[in-house]
Amino acid sequence: MSFNSREGFTLIELMVYIALLGGIVLLAGQAFSDSTKMRVRTQSMLQANQTAGNVGTILKEDIAQLGAKSSKEAGGGTMDVFNTDHIHDVYMDPDATEDADKDSSSFTIVKNDDGDGRDKITMRRLRYSDAGAYQAVEEVTWFLEDRVLKRSCKSTSALVEDAECPSENASVVTIAEHVDKFSLTPAKPTTEVASVSVLPSSSESDKNFKLVSRFGDENFEPVTIAPEEGGTSIKLSGFSMNYNFTTSEPISNPDMIKANQVFVSSLGSSLSSWGAQCIQVTLSPYIEYEISFSMPYSATDDPSRMFCPGRDHMAVGFRYAENGNKLDGLSDFQFYPPTVGDERDTGLRKMRFTTNTTYENVCLGFTFVSFSPVASSGNITISNVRLRKVPSSNYTFTDEAIATADKKNVKAIKLELSINKNGEAGAETAIISIPSNGPRD
C-alpha cells in the first residue's frame, strides 16, 4: 500500500469548478435582477392603473353632481317644500347682457392652448345637509400643475361652513402625481335623435293612459280611480290608512301595514288582473330611460298636503307582471306631492336611470303607503305619464368649441387620464353623464 496516493481535485479541476460556479452565480444573479425589475415594473404599472382608476372615481362623483340646484326645506307644519332660490348661483353666467353669452350650464372647461391634454374644469352645485336642506353653493375646480393633479373647492352663499370647502381661500388638495394627460371633452349637443317614447304609447302626441289597481295579494288594497276608463289625467283617492287611533301612533307591524299600488295600462284594456292589463315593457341595459309625470297642485285644504316626508311613502318603479315582485338592482324612485302652488313646484316629476341587465315583461307602477291619520283621505292627481328612452348614449365628442348658449344641453363629458409611475403608464377613459346640467334638469 502506497502512502503517497491521495484523493482530491487537481488544480485544473478546481479551476473548472470555480468557473462553472461563477457562471451559475452570474446567471442566478441576472435572473434575480430581471425578476426584481419585472416585479418593480409590475408594481409600478398596477399602482399607475389603480391611481388612474381612483382619480376617475372621484372625478365621476364631482361631475355627476354638477348642476344640482334644488333643495328640500322645512315648510309650515309637517310639510316640506322644494327650494330653488339659489338656481342662478349654480349657473355659470345666466344673466349676460347678450343672449349668445348667457350661460345656463354649470361647468366651464378650459383647454390648454398646446392641446396636450392639460385641461381645467370648474363645476358648480349645491351642498346639502343630511336631510337634503341647502347649505351652500360649491365651486369645484380640477387642474394640472407641474404634472400634479389638484382639486380646489370654495363655497359661496354659504349658510353652513365646511372646512373642506370654505368660503374664504379655496381648499386645495393633491389628487395624483405624475399625471401626463388630463383631458376633458364635452359631448356635442345634438337634436338629430329625439327621445323615444316607450309607454303609454310610442307616439309622443298620445297622452292617454289608464291606471289599474293591484289588490288581492299580499297587503295591497284597491284605490279609487277616476275616471276608470282612463284619460290624460287621473285622480286617485281612498288610500289605505296605517294609523292606530287607539294608541295614537302609526302601525309598525309589517304584517298589518296596507299599501295601494296602481299600474300604467293602455285604454280599452279588459277587466282582468292588473298583471294582464298593465303595459309590459323590456328594459335594455346601458340605455338611459326617463320616467316623467305631472302631479297638479291640490286645493289648499286637500288632506294630501299633510303628507309627512320620512313616514308616508310615495314611489314609482317597476314590477314583474307575472308576480308583482320588485326588480333586483333597480330601486323605486320616491317623490313628494306638490306642497306649494307657485313656480317652486309645478308638479312635474322626472327620474332617469340606466341598468346593466335586461328586464323583461315589467310594468310601471305607483306605490302609496300612508301612515298619517289625515293624508290618506286626500286626492292625488297624476297626468302625462311617460317612459322614454333618452338618446344620451348617442354622444358625439368633439374638440370644436361649443357655443356658450348650447352648453346647457351638454349631458356628458369624456375623461381621458394618463399617469406615469416609474416609466409605467396607467390610463383611465370614461364617459361621465351629467343629467343635472342645464336649466330644465
Whether residue 229 is found in the same domain as residue 100: no
Whether residue 256 is found in the same domain as residue 278: yes
Whether residue 269 is found in the same domain as residue 382: yes
Q: Determine the Cα–Cα distance for residues 244 and 257; give it in Å rounded to an integer.
A: 11
Residue 33 belongs to some domain of the structure: no
By the 8 A CB rule, do 36 and 94 touch? Answer: no
Residue 10 belongs to some domain of the structure: no
- Per the rule left: phi > 0, alpha: psi between -120 and 50, beta: everything else, 201 is beta
Identify residue 298 by its one-letter amino acid code: S
Whether residue 240 is found in the same domain as residue 173: no
Q: Determine the Cα–Cα distance for residues 36 and 215; give it in Å rounded to an integer.
A: 69
224-257: b (≥16 Cβ within 10 Å) or e: ebeeeebeebbbbbebbbbbeeeeeebeeeeeee
Residue 227 belongs to some domain of the structure: yes
Whether residue 253 is found in the same domain as residue 365: yes
Domain region containing 80: 57-191+394-433
Whether residue 414 is found in the same domain as residue 324: no
Give the distance, in angstroms, between the CA of residue 37 and the centroid of all CA atoms in the same chain.
Answer: 42
Whether residue 110 is found in the same domain as residue 250: no
Residue 246 belongs to some domain of the structure: yes
Q: Domain with 376 in it: what CATH number?
A: 2.60.120
Whether residue 83 is found in the same domain as residue 227: no
Residue 272 belongs to some domain of the structure: yes
Whether residue 383 is found in the same domain as residue 399: no
Residue 353 belongs to some domain of the structure: yes
Whether residue 222 is found in the same domain as residue 355: yes
What is the three-class DSSP state of 306?
helix
Residue 438 belongs to some domain of the structure: no
Whether residue 419 is found in the same domain as residue 282: no
- Structurally, how many domains does the chain consist of? 2
By the 8 A CB rule, do 422 and 95 touch? Answer: no
| Tens digits of pLDDT across the chain (441 residues) | 454 555 666 777 777 777 777 777 776 666 555 555 555 555 666 677 788 888 888 998 899 889 988 887 765 555 566 777 888 899 999 888 888 889 999 999 998 767 667 899 999 999 988 878 889 999 999 999 999 999 999 998 889 999 999 999 999 999 999 999 999 999 877 544 456 889 998 888 888 999 999 998 889 999 999 999 999 999 999 999 998 888 888 888 988 999 999 999 988 877 688 999 999 999 988 778 899 999 887 777 788 878 887 788 999 999 999 999 999 989 999 888 876 655 555 678 888 888 888 999 999 999 999 998 888 888 999 999 999 987 655 577 877 788 888 888 888 898 999 988 777 788 888 888 887 888 865
Residue 248 belongs to some domain of the structure: yes
DSSP H helical ranges for 67-177: 87-90
Give the global pTM: 0.52
Whether residue 233 is found in the same domain as residue 283: yes
